[in-house]
């Protein structure tokens, strides 16, 4: 097997981000507090949002088609 195609990587990443979004392992967790006042779920959602944004940025760069031959700006 040569490796995963872009489509496989995309769907695996979507599955991982979706499963991380469920947050079933810390349903009743309040601590640790970030900087002493930011609750766990708030910074977890922030990290998840940043990870999703970086993923879609990468996906846009990888998935954008090359311009056709002879295309002039």
Q: Find the range with the poorest average confidence among 14-18, 26-30, 37-41, 65-69.
A: 26-30
Number of domains in the chain: 1
In a domain, 37, yes or no: yes
Tokens 């309040």 sit at which residue?
30
Of residues 41 and 73, which shows the higher confidence score?
41
In a domain, 34, yes or no: yes
User: Can you point out the beta strands (E) in the chain?
Assistant: none
Instruction: State pTM to two decimals.
Output: 0.62
In a domain, 43, yes or no: yes
34-68 pLDDT tens trace? 788 888 778 888 888 898 899 889 888 877 777 77
Q: Name the average pLDDT for the chain.
A: 79
Distance CA 71, CA 35 (A): 52
In a domain, 16, yes or no: no
In a domain, 55, yes or no: yes
In a domain, 54, yes or no: yes
1 has a pLDDT exceeding 50: no
In a domain, 32, yes or no: yes
**Domain range spanning residue 56?**
26-63
């Amino acid at each position: 097997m040569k490796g995963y195609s872009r489509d496989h990587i995309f769907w695996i990443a979507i599955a991982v981000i979706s499963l991380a979004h469920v947050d079933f392992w810390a349903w009743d967790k309040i601590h640790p507090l970030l900087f002493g006042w930011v609750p766990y779920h708030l910074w977890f959602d922030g990290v998840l949002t940043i990870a999703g944004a970086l993923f879609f940025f990468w996906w846009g760069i990888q998935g954008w088609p090359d311009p056709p031959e002879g295309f002039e700006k």
